[in-house]
Structure 1
């Protein structure tokens, strides 16, 4: 089975076109070699690809006939992605939320003034240190 069809069948990508684009950007490797979308995969092949800031590593266990349901995906692949990769993704999500809550919209005038004051307060403190 072609690599683009396989990754689509085991539900890593929503469309085959997305897999094809990833292959063209050299984000997909099979057994350590960059794969074109038409590359054939066989059981025991190791596939590495980068998606959503995570480098996924999977081993092909079997080839599905068609796209499979989410509960049946583990029959056809073995996920060997390290747990640290998922933890790193969670940290990225939390760091983005820390700055500004999602859905809060653009910064208000008050937010902008606070940001501007933060920079000037630091400069004023340095000037006053010279006087002391």
Structure 2
């Protein structure tokens, strides 16, 4: 697998910043969901699911930060697909009437961040998967 030594590559920077966004969002959902959801006019669930979503966001955020430092364009590309699919799924939930329109903000952040990383990766030659 090709490795780029610079953690300052634009693709690495975009993955790292999105990871930090997920860490902040996940922490808010875990510790104080009302502080994040109320200003967006989103309902604040009283069950454990919103806090579990926070744990998942924290885990994904930490993984993204580590991925940014790994110097692997293959891993950076994987985050593009994950974020694009997540954003599309959120839009689908809004379109189906399952989620309120404010969720479009989260979808837009996912999709914009995926596009940012994809654009930054244009300068990196794709490499095939290599097995150890």
Place the TM-score, normalised by the shorter chain, in its bin: under 0.3
TM-score, with normalisation over the residues of structure 1? 0.26
Q: Larger radius of gyration, structure 1 or 2?
A: 1
With CA pairs under 8 Å and 6+ residues apart, which has the higher RCO, 1 or 2?
Answer: 2
| TM-score (normalizing by structure 2) | 0.26
Bigger fraction of residues in helix = 2
Which protein is richer in strand relative to its size?
1
